[in-house]
Amino acid sequence: MEALRIESTHKTPRVILDPENGIFEFSGRSIPEDSVGFYLPILDWLEKYAQQPLPQTHVRFDLEYFNTSSSKNILEVLKRLEAIHTAGHEVRVTWYYDEDDEDMEETGQDYQALLNLPIELAVKVQS
């Protein structure tokens, strides 16, 4: 299975899904008008990965902004990961937020509440 890499734009995040090392990343901003179109290939990829996942998958969400239609798609991404976790594979999600960004912290808590998946909230180290 090939890695999926998408470079960031001013409206969409950088996405790295690497099945070699099991380290996935979503970083930047996710504010496209058509978020369904953006996330569809990602969800498809995860669907395939879920059939033969690595014993350990680590997913980093390091998002600066996202719009509400992305938030629904991110939930879908997390649901795919939840399924892998439920099937007995180790999946770890780290949700990064800026120390003063309560809104992003709260969103992470929203996802924690909605999913049966280990989501760790972590303060981003200031650059």
Partner 1 sequence: MTYSYYKNMQLNNIIFVYQGEVTADLVSSILQMIENKLEGEGEDRKVKKRVFNVMVECLQNVYHHLDALPPTDPSNPIKDKTALLMIGREEKDYYIITGNHVLNDRIPDLKSRLDRINRATKEELKQLYQEVLTSGGFSEKGTAGLGMIDIARKSGQRLGYDFHPVNDRYSFFSLEARISRIVDK
Question: Which burial class, exposed, middle or buried, applies to 104 when counting CB atoms under 10 A from its CB (0-12, 13-18, 19+)?
Answer: buried
Are 82 and 116 in contact by the 8 Å Cβ rule? The answer is: yes
Q: In this complex, which beta carbon is closest to partner 1, that of residue 36 or of residue 87?
A: 36
The alpha-helical segments, DSSP class H, found in the chain are: 35-49, 68-86, 102-114
Residues 6+ apart with CB under 8 A from 115: 78, 79, 82
Q: In this complex, which beta carbon is closest to partner 1, that of residue 5 or of residue 41?
A: 41
Using CB under 8 A as the binding rule, whether residue 68 contacts partner 1 is answered as yes
Q: Per-residue x/- marks for partner 1, 12-41, CB under 8 A?
A: -------------------x-xxxxx----
- Stated length of the chain: 127
Interface residues for partner 1 in 81-100 (CB under 8 A)? 98, 100
User: How many binding residues for partner 1 (CB under 8 A)?
Assistant: 24
Q: Which residues bind partner 1 (CB under 8 A)?
A: 10-11, 31, 33-37, 65, 67-69, 71-72, 75, 98, 100-103, 106, 110, 113-114
